[in-house]
Structures are given as C-alpha cells and as structure tokens.
C-alpha cells in the first residue's frame, strides 16, 4: 500500500468491523460515499447477488471474498445509520445465545436431546424464544 494513502489514517489495529467503518469514514471525507441510504441498500443487494452467484461453484476463496464484500457493505449501512457494527453483532450474539439456551432448556424439559430433535421442532422453539424475548422487552 502507498505510504501516502489517505486510508493510512485508519487504525489497522481495530477490530475488523470498526476498521471497515474507519476506512469508509476516511474515504467519505473526499466524497467517496453514497449520498443517500438507497445507494447503500442497493449495494448490499448487489453484493448478496454476487454471493448467491458463487454458490454453484462453491470456491471457498471466492465465497470468502464475496461474503467479505457483503459484510463491508452491511457495515457501511450501519455507519450510515449511526449504528456501531461491533455493538450490533455483540447484541445479536447475546440474543442468539439466549434463544438457543431457551431451546436447549425446552428440549431437556421435553425429555429429548438436541441431536434427535427435528429442525421443525427446533425452529418452532426458536419462534417461541423470540416471542418470549418480545414479552420481556415490553
């Protein structure tokens, strides 16, 4: 990378999502940014389509690249909406953990195991966990 690059201002030591935000913010200082949220959302759709197009080939390196592009575009959406992507994914991780543990508890109470439960059963319990979360929010 060129030592005089504007993007050198972004701290490479940051977690990947925060680094992406810093790269995007820095590029935006010279006008390299979507002026409206519609452009950001269109880019996400474009990147998702590119991931889908790679599914048939299943080249792990290409899939990783395309998923990276999609994550970068989603991170840009978060930036445009003033959402910290690190906090958003951490909150999502905690929500997933809470809901999955709900499923585990329910399965055990039913005298079953996760390994023998069907996807339909697990999905129904997931929906129940979501409802439980919603009730606790109110």
Q: What is the pLDDT of residues 26-44, one digit of tens each?
A: 999 999 999 999 999 999 9
Residues 39/16, Cβ–Cβ less than 8 Å:
no
CA atoms within 13 A on the CB side of 66: 18
Residue entry with tokens 């299943």 = 58
Q: What fold, for 10-83?
A: Helix Hairpins (1.10.287)
The pTM score is 0.87
- Look up residue 117 and give its DSSP letter: S
pLDDT of 1 > 60? The answer is: no
First-to-last alpha carbon distance for the chain, in angstroms, is 50
Residues of CATH 1.10.287.1080 domain(s) within the chain?
Answer: 10-83
Taking 70 as the threshold, does the pLDDT of residue 64 lie above it? yes
- Those residues with Cβ within 8 angstroms of residue 48's Cβ, 6 or more apart along the chain or in another chain: 70
Please tell me what DSSP assigns to residue 56: T
For residue 42, the Cα-to-chain-centroid distance in whole angstroms is: 17
């Amino acid at each position: 990378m060129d030592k005089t690059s504007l993007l050198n201002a972004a701290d490479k030591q940051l977690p990947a999502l925060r680094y992406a935000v810093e790269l995007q913010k820095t590029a935006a200082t010279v006008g390299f940014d979507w002026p409206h949220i519609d452009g950001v959302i269109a880019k996400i759709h474009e990147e998702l389509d590119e991931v889908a197009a790679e599914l048939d080939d299943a080249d792990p390196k290409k899939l990783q690249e395309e998923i990276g592009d999609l994550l970068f575009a989603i991170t840009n959406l978060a930036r445009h909406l003033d959402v910290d992507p690190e906090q958003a994914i951490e909150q999502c991780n905690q929500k997933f953990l809470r809901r999955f543990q709900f499923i585990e508890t329910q399965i055990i109470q039913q005298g079953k195991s996760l390994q023998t439960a069907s996807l339909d059963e697990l999905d129904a319990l997931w929906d129940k966990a979501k409802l439980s979360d919603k009730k606790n929010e109110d």
